[in-house]
C-alpha cells in the first residue's frame, strides 16, 4: 500500500514521525535506521511496510530499500515477527544476514538479542532454500555477461538470491553488471555485496 514516505522528519526515537502534506506518519523502526537519518527538520525518504494485524495496523520503515526487502524475507519465517526482524536488522546489516544464512553460520545470528541458537538454525533452514533455489529462478541471462571474467555459476547464484529477495530482472541485471565492474574479486560473495550496495540506493 505504501512503498515509501517522503517528507519532513519531525521526531526520531524508538519510532520516527514524518510529516507529509500536514499528515504525521508514525513509523516503527530500529536504532540502525535512526542512526542513518539526518537532523530533525530535514527531508527524508523512508521505505515502508504496512503490517495489518487483527486489532491494529502499523508502519515499519527503513532508510535503505535493501533492509525492507530483508525484513520481508525474515518475517516469512514462521516464528519471526516484526520485533525479532527489527532486532536482527539492528544487530546486522542485510548483507551480513544473507552471508550468515548462505554460510549456515547460526552462531553469529544467535548473537542478536532474543535470538537463540534454535531460532537461528530455523532462520537458516527456511531462508537458505528460498535464497538459493535455482528451480524458482526465471529470466536468467548469462549471455549478457559472457565476456566478463566471472564464473557463470557465481553470476547465477547472485541472480538467484537477488530474485528471491524480490528484485526485478531489470534491477538485478543492472546491479550485477555494476558489481562485476566494481567488485575487487569475482566470487559470488563479492558480486552480491556490490550489487546490494547499488540496489539499496535505488
Tens-place pLDDT, residues 12-39: 988 999 999 999 999 999 999 999 999 9
**Percent of the chain residues past pLDDT 70, beyond the cut:** 89
Integer CA distances (angstroms), 14 to 45, 61, 193, in order: 17, 12, 29
Mean pLDDT of 88-99: 89
Higher pLDDT, 184 or 5: 5
136-154 confidence digits (pLDDT tens): 555 555 556 655 667 778 8
Residue with cell 525474515: 74
Closest CA to 103 of 117, 131, 80, 124: 124
Which pLDDT score, from 0 to 100, does residue 76 have?
86
Average pLDDT over residues 172-179: 87
Between 96 and 151, the higher pLDDT residue: 96
Per-residue model confidence (pLDDT) at position 142: 56
Per-residue model confidence (pLDDT) at position 64: 85
| Residue 151 or 11, more confident | 11
Q: Can you tell me the distance from the alpha carbon of 162 to that of 127, in angstroms, rounded to the nearest whole number?
A: 13
CB atoms within 10 A of CB 16: 24
Q: Which three cell numbers stand for residue 192?
A: 552480491
In this predicted structure, what is the pLDDT of residue 139? 52
Question: What pLDDT is recorded for position 151?
Answer: 74
Residue 153, pLDDT score: 81
**CA nearest to 192, candidates 88, 123, 93:** 93
The answer to whether 129 and 161 are in contact (CB under 8 A) is no
Are 101 and 93 contacting, i.e. CB atoms less than 8 angstroms apart?
no
**CA dihedral angle for residue 64, residue 128, residue 158, residue 136, rounded to 10 degrees:** -110
* pLDDT at site 114: 87
The whole-number average pLDDT for the span 160-174 is 85
**Average pLDDT along the chain:** 86
* Strand, coil or helix: 119: helix
Amino acid at each position: 500500500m505504501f512503498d515509501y514516505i517522503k517528507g519532513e522528519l519531525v521526531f526520531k526515537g524508538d519510532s520516527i514521525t514524518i510529516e507529509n502534506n500536514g499528515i504525521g506518519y508514525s513509523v516503527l523502526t530500529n536504532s540502525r535506521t535512526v542512526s542513518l537519518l539526518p537532523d530533525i527538520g530535514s527531508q527524508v525518504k523512508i521505505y515502508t511496510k504496512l503490517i495489518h494485524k487483527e486489532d491494529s495496523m502499523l508502519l515499519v520503515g527503513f532508510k535503505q530499500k535493501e533492509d525492507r526487502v530483508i525484513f520481508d524475507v525474515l518475517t516469512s519465517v514462521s516464528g519471526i515477527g516484526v520485533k525479532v526482524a527489527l532486532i536482527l536488522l539492528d544487530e546486522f546489516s542485510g548483507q551480513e544476514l544473507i552471508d550468515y544464512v548462505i554460510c549456515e553460520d547460526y552462531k553469529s545470528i544467535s548473537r542478536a538479542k532474543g535470538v537463540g541458537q534454535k531460532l537461528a538454525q530455523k532462520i537458516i533452514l527456511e531462508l537458505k532454500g528460498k535464497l538459493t533455489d535455482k528451480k524458482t529462478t526465471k529470466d536468467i541471462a548469462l549471455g549478457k555477461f559472457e565476456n566478463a571474467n566471472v564464473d557463470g555459476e557465481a553470476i547465477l547464484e547472485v541472480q538467484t538470491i537477488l530474485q528471491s529477495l524480490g528484485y526485478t530482472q531489470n534491477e538485478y541485471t543492472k546491479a550485477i553488471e555494476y558489481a562485476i565492474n566494481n567488485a575487487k574479486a569475482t566470487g559470488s560473495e563479492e558480486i552480491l555485496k556490490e550489487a546490494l550496495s547499488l540496489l539499496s540506493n535505488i
